[in-house]
Amino acid sequence: MTAPLARVTLVLGGARSGKSRYAETLLREAGGGIYLATAQALDSEMTARIARHRAERGHGWTTVEEPLELAAALERGAQAGRPILVDCLTLWLSNLMGAGRATEAETARLRAVLKILPVPVVFVSNEVGLGIVPDNALARAFRDEAGRLNQAIAAAADRVVFLAAGLPLVLKGG
């Protein structure tokens, strides 16, 4: 299904495109790893979503939850010497924006950490810029920030894969 795990992989796709499952398979094939979750269970629907993701993932994962301090969590996680799966960048971005954090500075911090991580990392991120222009300023700002974040991580990545309908299309790193 996949090539050997790259140092940095970005897996992009729309909602329910199969991106998380694909990313999890990459780590499973590499012998497992750390699941760094950025989601926050702020309501019952998200609580159910998180529980469903955990159940689908099964056992064998070390799960770390970190909604804001992603760069620091990656540095800590790398000490275990195992690959890391970050699911997902767009939830992290949403958390940053909600907390009033400077997204450009946080993205730069993340990119700096990627240069020194001694373990492979796989990022999952939503591609939200393929649809219509959102009707409100916050949604447009989020779409624009997500596009910038995805571009920054794609530039730093050795491999970029886009998923649609569960099918992977390698964009970078053949």
Residues taking part in catalysis:
53
Task: Please report, as a single letter, which amino acid is at residue 169.
Answer: L
Give SS3 for 172.
strand
Instruction: Tell the residue number behind the tokens 């591609």, with chain if given.
Output: 127
Q: Which of 25, 36, 26 is nearest to 5 (CA)?
A: 26
Return d(Cα 124, Cα 122) in angstroms, integer.
Answer: 7
Return d(Cα 76, Cα 32) in angstroms, integer.
Answer: 17
Structure tokens at 71: 């760069």
Phi, psi at residue 20, to the nearest 5°?
-65, -45
